[in-house]
Structure 1
Amino acid sequence: MSETHQRGQTRRDLLRSGALAAAAAPFVGAGAADAHGKGTSPAGDLILTNGEIHTMDRRDSVVEVVAIRDGEVVYTGDRESVARKEFTDKPRTIDLRGKTAIPGVIDCHNHIVLMGNRPGHHTPLENAYSIADVQATIRARARTAPAGTFITTIGGFHFNQFKEVRLPTLAELDAAAPHHPVYISVGFVGPGVTNSLGKAFFENVPGPDGPVTVGADGSIAALTQTGRATLALRRQLTFEDRKRGTRDAMKYAVGLGVTTHLDQGAFQAVDAPSDGSAHEDNFRMHLPFLSVYGDGDGIVRLRINFLYMDADPASVALGDRLRNAFPFFGNDLVRTGGIGEFVAPVPSDPITSGSAGNQRWLDAARKVAQAGWRAEVHSLSATDFKAEIDGFALVNQEFPITDLRWVVGHVPSITEDYVDKLKALGGGINVTGFRYFTGTPTAAGPPYRMLLDNGIPLGMSSDGMQIAPMNPWVHAYYATTGINALGVAINGSQLMTRREVVEHYTSANGWFLGGVDEDRLGVLAPGRLGDVAVLNRDYFDRRAVGDADLKKINSVLTVLGGVVVHDTGVVR
C-alpha cells in the first residue's frame, strides 16, 4: 500500500483520525448532550411518553412509554411515573403526542458504504415521482452545496418512478441548479444525464478515459460513456469529500428511521470506465466511515460484510481475509460480519454439471465454511439459487454450516423445494423489492408470502442504493401491494401485511446480524439497545394511511441508544 492514500492523507494520518480512533472515542455527535460516553456506544438517558409505541416483542405489545438508561431500554409500559423510578438523575423526556413509533429499522442487506463514497454531493432521488420533484430535490440540495460543486445522484432510483417515465433534460436540470454542475445516472451503468455546467466538464475530461460524449439534451449513454463520467468524478474525490458523503448517507438513513445497516460490500474497482456504481476500493472504502466514527459523529450502526469476486481461481485474497480478520469483531456501533454478498463469481449452472466455474465457487465456499465464517450469496436468476443451495449442501458434507447462518439474498424466482433445502442447512433468506422499479407481470417476485408461510428465517432489506431504493417505506409499499413504479400490479399473490413488513425490518432481522446483536437489536424491551424511530404517519392504520401514502412515511424523531440523532421538531 502506498504511503499516501488520498490527497496527502498518510497511513499515520488515517490511523490517527479514524481506523484506530474508532475503537477508543466515546460517542458524541447529534444529541451529544444526552451521551454519557459509555464505551464507544451511544448511551443516552431518555423517556419517550404519550406514544403508540410498537415494541415488536413476541406479545406484539403496544405501549405508551419507553425509558432508556445508559443506551439500553429499562422500561416499556404505560406509566411514566414508573419509568422515572429507573433513573437517579432527571432524564430528558419527549412527548410523542400520540405518534406511532417502532424499533429502529434494521436493513440486513444494503450498500450504505458505497453511498457514502459517492462522488459529488450525492442526492437520493428515490422519493421523487415526477420531473418537478427531481427539480425540487436538486434545487434544495443546491442551497447547501457550494456553488460550482457537482450535485449527483448515482443509482438508487429509476425513471419508471417519474410520471413522465424519462430522465430530466439538460434544460430542466439547468433550471433547478444554474450554478452547479449536475449529474444523475440510473442503476449500475446508466444511462445518465447532465446539465450545461456538467456538459462543459465532461466534454473536457482529458486522457484515454475521456472525453465523455454528451447529447445536446444532456443525455449520456449507458455503459462506457456513463462509466467515463462516473470515473471522472470519482477521481476528484478527496478523503474529506468521502467523509462528508459518509455523514450525508448516515443523515439520510436516520431520516427514514433506519438505524442499523448490514453493508454488503462492493466489486473491486480498477480505475477504469468499466467501474460502475457498485465498484469501490474494497481495502479503503471503510476508512471514511471509521474516521467519522473516530470523530464521534457516527449516527448509525454499521455491520460490515466483505465481498469477494477474486479474479484468480484460487481465491487468494479471500483466503487472506479469512486468516487475518475476525468475524463479528467490534462494538455496538461498528462490527464486522461475514463474507458476502459474493464469495466468488456466481455459479450459473447446476453444481452437478461440474463446470470449472462451479468448482471455483465451491472451493471458495469451502474456505469460508472451514474458517467458520458466515456467508451470503445473491440470487437474481431462475437457476442460480439452485446452484448455490446445492453447493451449500456439498460444502456442508465436509465442513458443517448448519450453525453458521448462511444466507441467499434477493431470490425473485426461488422455489419452495429449494427453500426447504436451505432451511434444512440452517440457512436464511433476505428479500428486496428491487422489482418495484423494473419488474413486470412475468418478471416479478420475490415470493414474500411463500417464504413467510414456509417459516425459513426471513429478513427485509433494501439493496440500496444501486438498483433499488434504500427507503424501507417504498419497499413496504411494494411488499404490501405488489404494484410496481409504473402502477402495474405484478406481485399480487405474494403480499405481506404491514405488520409483517415491520417485523421483518426489526425483530426478525436480528437473526441476520448474528452473535450478540440478535438479542440486542430489533425489539424495544428491557436489556435491548434503545433505538427508536417515531413515524410521521400512523403506518398501521390503513384507513388513515392509504397504500400510496406508505411511500411518504419517514421518521420525525430517530433515537440511537437513547441519543436523539434526527429531529424534525414535530415532537418535543
Structure 2
Amino acid sequence: MPSIPEQILLNGRITTLSDDGGVPGEVSALAIRGGVIIAAGSDEEIRALADDSTEVVDLDGRRVIPGLIDSHVHFVRAGLTWNDELRWEDVYELSTALSTIAEAARNQPKGTWIRVIGGWDEKQFQDGGLGPTKEDLDRVAPDHPVYVQMQYAWVQLNTLAMETLGINDELVAGLTVGTFDRDEDGELTGRGSGRMLMPWFYKQLPVPTFEEQVASTAAVSREFARLGMTGCIDGGGYNTGPDVYGPIYEAWRRGELATRVRLYQHPSAPGMEDEEIAGYSRYLEPGFGDDILRMSGIGEVILYKSHDGIAEPGDTSPEAMDHHEKLLAPLAAKRWSVQIHAHQREYIDRLLDLWERIDKEHSIKDLRWTLVHAEPVAKEHIERLKALGAGLMLQSLLRLNGEKAISIWGAERVAESPVMRALFDAEVPVGLGSDAMRVASYNPFTSLQWFLTGLTVSGTPTLSEENLLSREEALRGYTVGSAWCTFEEDVRGRLVPGYQADLAVLSKDYMTIPVEEIHTITSELTLLGGRTVWSSGAVA
C-alpha cells in the first residue's frame, strides 16, 4: 500500500512513457510524495490514496508530459548575460524584432547597451530580408549602443555602438579576425562577419557584475521551466572555461535554480587543452554535486584544431588523433564520461577508431561516451556505437541551417543526416536537444517540431520522411533519452512510480494539436521534484 501522497494530480491526460506493462502509457492521475511519483493510474485509484492533508491539483483535461531535458545546450554561458539580452527566437517579423529594441531603449538609461546575441536566423523574418541594418537600429535606438548577432555568422551595430567600440577604418585594418562590410561609397555599414570575430566583440562589451550573473543564471533557469524543461546538459562552449562557473555554483548554493543542470567542461581556448583537461581530471570528480547541479563529464571540445562545422572540416590527421588519445585515455582510466562535437563524417570515423583503441586498454562501455551533433552518422556506424556502449546527442540545428547544409552536402545526404529511423530501430541511445543559445532556439517545442517535420524555419525539407520521428519517439528523446546520457534513465524522464516528479502541464496538447502549432506550446505548471518552479496561474 503506497504512503499517503502529499500531492495528487487528477483529471489529466498524462503521458507516462512507461516501459512497464504495469503502468499504462497514458493515465489520468498521479500521486507524489517526497518529490517522487508513488502511483500512476485512474482518478479513482489515485484519489483513494489521499487523505485530508493531500494537496489536490485539477488538471482539467490538460496534457502532462515528463519534464523535458535538453541533451546539449549552453546554459552556463547564457546565464552570464541572460538578463542583459533580448531574445528573438520566437519572433517572426523584423518589425516586431525592432520593436523589442525600441521598447528596451525606452526602458533603459541612455547610453546603456542593448544586445541580441544569437538564437535566431534572418530567414525567420517574413518581412526581414537580410536582417536589421545600421539605419534600422539607429531609428529605434539612437541613444543606445546596439549589438545584434545572427548565430555566429554576423554582427550588426548601430552608429553609437560603432563609436563606442571605436569601429573605424584604422581599427578594422588592424584586426586579424573577421571582415566588415562597406556600402557602395566605401563606408563601414556596421556589419561584421566571421565566427572568430564574435569572441573579439564579447571582450569589448561590458561584463555584468557577479551578482548580476547569479541573478541572470537563476532567470534563465526559470525561463526553461516556463517551457517545461526540468533539466539540461550543459556542453561548455566557446568562451567558457574553468573561470565561468562561479555564478551557477552560487545560484545552486542559494537554491535559485529552477531546472536540473548537468555540467560537461572543456578547455577554454586553443593551446589550453592539455593543461585544463588534466586539471579537470585531477581536481574534479565525475558525479560530484546533487540532484540539481552535478558534474557529469568532459567535452564538447577536446582539441580545438579538430573542432569542425557543417562547412569547416577540422584536423583529423594522425598527429591530431594521437593528441586526442593523449587527452582521452586518462579520462577513460579515471571513468569519466565524454561528449565530443562532430559534424564531419571523417571526424566521426576517426573518433570511433580511437574509441575502439582506447576501449581495449580502458573499457568505455559503461561510461556513456557520446557524439554531439553527429549529422553524418550512418548505418554502418550503428554496430560500432552499440559495441562501445556509446550514444548520440542530436539537435535541431538544421531548422536554421538546413539550406546551408543542403548547399554543402546535397539534399540526398541531408535527408539522412542522421539516419534517425535506423538509430531508433537499433535502440542506439539518443538524447535530443537544441544546441542553443547562439546557433539555435532554446525552445524545446521548436526543436520537437523540427524532429517531426524536418522543415527549416523558411519551410525547406531536410530529413526524409523515413527519418522523421513520431511524437512519442521525439518526446522520449527529449526526456528519458537525454537522461540516459547522465546515467539517470532509471529516475528521470518518465512519470511512473519511483521516478522524480519532474513534469510539465502543457498549454496545448502536444500529442494531438496540428504539428505546425507545436512550437507555440508552453507550460502552465512545471514541477521539479514535486515542487512548483513555474506556474502561469491557469492550473489550480
TM above 0.5, yes or no, is: yes
C-alpha distance in 2 between matches for 1:87 and 1:110: 42
CA–CA separation in structure 2 for the residues paired with 1:196 and 1:308: 36
Residue aligning to 1:15: none
Q: Do the aligned residues in 2 keep the contact of 1:56 with 1:506 (CA within 8 Å)?
A: no
Match of 1:279 among 239, 256, 266: 239
Counterparts of 1:136 and 1:465, CA distance in 2 = 21
> Matched residue of 2:81: which SS?
coil
Partner of residue 470, structure 2: 497
Q: 1:246 aligns with which of 213, 217, 233?
A: 217
* Residues 54-63 or 462-471, more deviating: 54-63
1:448-463 mapped onto 2 (5 Å cutoff): 448-463=420-435
SS at match of 2:354: helix
1:559 and 2:520 correspond: no
**1:42-71 CA distances to partner (integer Å, 9 max, x unpaired)?**
xx9433222111111115521222222221
Partner amino acid, structure 2, of 1:71: G
Q: Which amino acid counterpart does residue 12 of structure 2 have in structure 1?
A: G
Counterpart for residue 61 of structure 1:
25
Cα 1:176–1:251 change in 2 (3 A) is farther
- Counterpart of 1:130? 93
What does 1:192-231 align with in structure 2 at a 5 Å threshold?
192-195=155-158, 197-203=160-166, 219-223=190-194, 226-231=198-203
Cα contact 1:199–1:214 (8 A) shared by 2: no
Q: Given the superposition, is the C-alpha separation of residues 119 and 568 from structure 1 closer, same or farther in structure 2, using an over 3 Å criterion?
A: closer
Query: Aligned match of 2:286 in 327, 336, 339?
Result: 327
Give CA-to-partner distance per residue, 1:411-450, whole Å, 9 cap, x none.
1111111122111111111211101112134263233222
> Following the alignment from structure 1 to structure 2, what is the Cα–Cα distance between the partners of residues 104 and 569?
18
Residue deviations 1:506-546 (CA, integer Å, cap 9, x gap)? 122221111xx3322111122211111111111111xxx22
Deviation at 1:126, TM superposition (A): 1.4
Shift of 1:172: 3.8
TM-score (norm 2): 0.85
Q: Mark the CA change 1:169 to 1:448 in structure 2 (over 3 Å): closer, same or farther.
A: same
Equivalent residue, structure 1, for 2:440: 468
1:116 alignment partner, SS class: helix
- Pair 1:154–1:198, CA change in 2 (3 A): same
Instruction: Show CA shifts across 1:221-259 (max 9, x none).
Output: 1136544432211x4332122123212211221121111
Q: CA–CA distance in 2 between the matches of 1:98 and 1:168?
A: 43
Check the 8 A contact 2:432/2:474 in 1, yes or no: yes
Structure 1 or 2: more helix by fraction: 2
Are the structure 2 counterparts of residues 381 and 535 from structure 1 closer, same or farther at C-alpha, using a change threshold of 3 Å?
Answer: same
TM-align CA RMSD: 3.1
Tell me which residue corresponds to 1:52: 13
> Shift of residue 145 of structure 1?
5.8
Question: Quick one: which of 242, 245, 251 aligns to 1:292?
Answer: 251
1:379 correspondence with 2:346: no
- Residue equivalent to 1:337: 296
How many residue pairs were aligned? 507
Task: Establish whether residue 315 from structure 1 lines up as the match of residue 286 from structure 2.
Answer: no
Q: Partner letter of residue 119 of structure 2?
A: G
Please name the residue that 1:166 is paired with: 130
Change (3 A) 1:520 1:74: same
**What do residues 256-301 of structure 1 show as CA deviations (whole Å, max 9, x unaligned)?**
11110111112xxxxxxxxxxx312x11212101111222211110
Native 8 Å contact 1:309 1:343 kept in 2: no
Counterpart Cα distance in 1 of 2:452 and 2:503: 23
Tell me the equivalent position of 1:479.
451
Distance in 2 between the 1:317 and 1:178 partners?
Answer: 43
Distance 1:83 1:142 in 2: 52
Identity among equivalent pairs (%): 28
| 2:337 match: secondary structure | coil
Query: Which ranges of structure 1 fall in alignment gaps of 5 or more residues?
Result: 1-43, 267-277
Distance 2:142 2:58 in 1: 43
Which amino acid in the other structure matches residue 489 of structure 2?
A: E
Shift of 1:148: 4.8
Task: Select the residue among 76, 79, 83 that pairs with 1:113.
Answer: 76
Q: Which runs of 5+ in 2 are unaligned?
A: none
TM-score by length of 1: 0.81
Residue 99 of structure 1 is matched in structure 2 by 62
Q: Secondary structure at the match of 2:226?
A: helix
Question: How many angstroms does 1:481 deviate by?
Answer: 1.0
Which residue of structure 1 aligns with residue 147 of structure 2?
183
Q: Secondary structure at the match of 1:510?
A: helix
Cα distance change on mapping 1:82 and 1:357 into 2, 3 Å:
closer
